[in-house]
Structure 1
Amino acid sequence: MSETNLNDSIYIEEQWHPLFKQFTDTTDVYAAPFRTMKDMFMWSASIGFQRGDRKPLTGKKIGIFRWAQFSPQVDVPLLKALAIADTGDVAVLQDSEKVLVVVQEYANAGICELQQTLLEEYGQPLQNLIKLLS
């Protein structure tokens, strides 16, 4: 991803914004297992990819943070790997917009799974998140 595009906003569908706030806006880790919206986005994108499910963003979108908030050592390599795995071509790394679209679509699909796991299953969100890993 080129350095000139690192100010791009990361978008989610507006309908998911309250859920992102709910799981990041408190210090109670059992009720809100993510420290930041970026962390929740990373989980969502990873889950979407794991399930092989991309869902284009439709309707109104909202920017929840900027690309610069991703850790260059941890987050960015994972996001780039998702884009390469999705397209099967390392050339995708030369198209920063395509990388953003891929990861946002995986996150959009993954947030549905997170909602079901964290809210609709019995137990506290943190415990349900841990169960999702097993």
Structure 2
Amino acid sequence: MTCPEGVIMSENSVIRKDRVNIDDDVIGIYHELTSKAEEGGELAPFRTHKDVFMLAVVLGYRRDMRRPAPSGAKHTIRREVFSEEDYQLLEAIAVATTGDVNVLLNQGEILTIAEEYAQAGIHDVKAELLDQGGQPLRNLVAMLVGKS
């Protein structure tokens, strides 16, 4: 099958060019890490779901864990929300994962790879920031400096 831009997709591929999906089963983690950000950040260290997603992608990649999102209800983040630096990181992870720079020609594949890493990594984010007790922001700092 060929999409309008001429990118060849397999029959099982979902044609999605401009957004990442977050599974409904884990969206509560995203909400918990962002819901209190406007109150000073102590309880919620992230301002946006995109920021949580980026950390989840990196943790999933670092641990070499990918998990396809289950079918069902999804929440989405549009491509436009990502800064150029965010997207360059997602591109670098896609190239490192596939070993093929041609992946850069397929935004849908880049976003799918990121989604799969985030789907696995969000559980690590939860374990590191929410399940240890204390304040999530302090847990984030401890994780980043290697004291978790």
Q: Deviations over 1:52-76 (max 9, x none)?
A: 111111132413320011101x101
- Structure showing the higher helix proportion among its residues: 1
Q: Does 1:12 align with 2:58?
A: no
> Aligned Cα RMSD in Å?
1.8
The residue type equivalent to 2:87 in the other structure is: V
TM-score by length of 2: 0.81
Q: Does 1:33 align with 2:16?
A: no
- The residue matched to 1:103 in structure 2 has which SS? helix
Greater RCO, CA 8 A, separation 6+: 1
Superposition misfits of 4+ residues, deviation over 6 angstroms = 4-7
Counterpart residue number, 2:57: 45
Counterpart residue number, 1:60: 72
- The residue matched to 1:12 in structure 2 has which SS? strand
Long gaps (5+) in structure 1: none
- The share of aligned pairs that are identical, in percent, is 36
Aligned residues: 130
Change (3 A) 1:104 1:62: same
Structure showing greater Rg = 2
Mapped contact 2:20–2:112 kept (Cα < 8 A)? no
Mapped contact 1:33–1:126 kept (Cα < 8 A)? yes
Report deviation, 1:117: 1.0
TM-score by length of 1: 0.89
Within a 5 Å distance, the mapping from 1:82-121 to structure 2 comes to 82-121=93-132
- The residue matched to 2:41 in structure 1 has which SS? coil
CA distance in 2, matches of 1:64, 1:23: 17
